[in-house]
A and B are shown apart, each in its own frame.
Chain A
Amino acid sequence: MAFLNERMETLSRAELKKVQLERLQKEIKRTYDNVECFRNRMDEKGLKPEDIKSLEDLQKVPFSYKKDLRDYYPFGLFAQPLKNVLRFHASSGTTGKRIVVGYTKNDLETWAECAARMLSAIGVTDEDIIHVAYGYGLFTGGFGIHGAAEKIGAAVIPISSGNTKLQIQTMIDFGATVLCCTPSYAMHLGEEVNRMGVKDQLKLKCGVFGAEPWTESMREEIEKSLGIKAYDIYGLTEVIGPGVACECEEKAGMHIWEDHFLAEIIDPDTGEVLPEGSTGELVFTSLTKEAFPVIRYRTRDICRLEYEPCKCGRTHLRMCKPQGRSDDMLIIRGVNVFPSQIEEVLLKTSGGDLTPNYQIVVDRKNNTDTFDVNVEMSEELFADEVRSIEDIEKRITAELRSTLGIGAKVHLVNPKSIERSEGKAKRVIDKRNLH
Chain B
Amino acid sequence: MITKQLSVFVENKKGRLSAILNLLAENDVDLSALSLADTTEFGVLRLIVNKPELAKKILNESGVIVKITDVLAVVLDDAPGGAAKIIDTLYKNDVSIEYMYAFDTKLTGKAIMVAKTENVKAVNDLLIQNGFEDPSAEDIFKF
The chain A residues found within 8 Å of chain B, CB to CB, are 377-379, 382-386, 389-390, 393, 411-417
CB pair B39–A386 under 8 Å, yes or no, is yes
Interface range on chain B (Cβ under 8 Å from partner): 20 to 34
Residues of A within 8 A of B39 (CB): 386, 390
Per-position binary interface string of chain B over residues 35-67, scored 1 when its CB falls under 8 Å from any chain A CB and 0 otherwise: 001110111101000000000000000011101
Measured CB to CB, the closest approach of chain A to B64, in angstroms, equals 7
Q: Are A414 and B44 in contact (CB under 8 A)?
A: no
What are 17 A-B pairs with beta-carbon distances under 8 A? A378-B65, A379-B65, A382-B9, A382-B65, A384-B116, A385-B44, A389-B9, A389-B44, A390-B39, A393-B41, A413-B11, A414-B11, A414-B16, A414-B65, A415-B64, A415-B65, A416-B63
Bound complex: CA A383 to CA B37 (Å): 12
Contacts of B42 in A (CB 8 A): 377, 389, 412
0/1 string, B69-110, CB within 8 A of A gives 1? 100000000000000000000000000001100000000000
CA of A393 to CA of B63, assembled, Å? 21
Q: Which residues of chain B are within 8 angstroms of A411 by Cβ–Cβ distance?
A: 41
Given known contacts A414-B9, A414-B16, A416-B63, what 19 new A-B pairs fall within 8 Å (CB)? Answer: A377-B65, A379-B65, A382-B65, A383-B67, A384-B7, A384-B67, A384-B69, A389-B9, A389-B44, A390-B39, A393-B41, A411-B41, A412-B9, A412-B11, A414-B63, A414-B64, A414-B65, A415-B64, A417-B63
| Chain B contacts for A413, CB-based, 8 A | 11
User: Which residues of A lie under 8 Å from residue B43 when comparing CB positions?
Assistant: 386
Assuming the contacts A413-B11, A417-B11, asked whether A384 and B44 have C-beta atoms less than 8 A apart, the reply is yes
Given the complex, which residues of B lie within 8 Å of A382, measured CB to CB? Answer: 7, 9, 65, 67
Residues from chain A with Cβ under 8 Å of B63 in the complex: 414-417
Q: Which residue of B has the minimal Cβ distance to A378?
A: B65
Q: How far is A260 from B120 in the complex, measured between Cα atoms in Å?
A: 68
Smallest CB separation, A218 vs chain B (Å): 25
- B98→A385 contact, CB < 8 A: yes
Interface residues of B in 5-30 (CB under 8 A from A): 7, 9, 11, 16
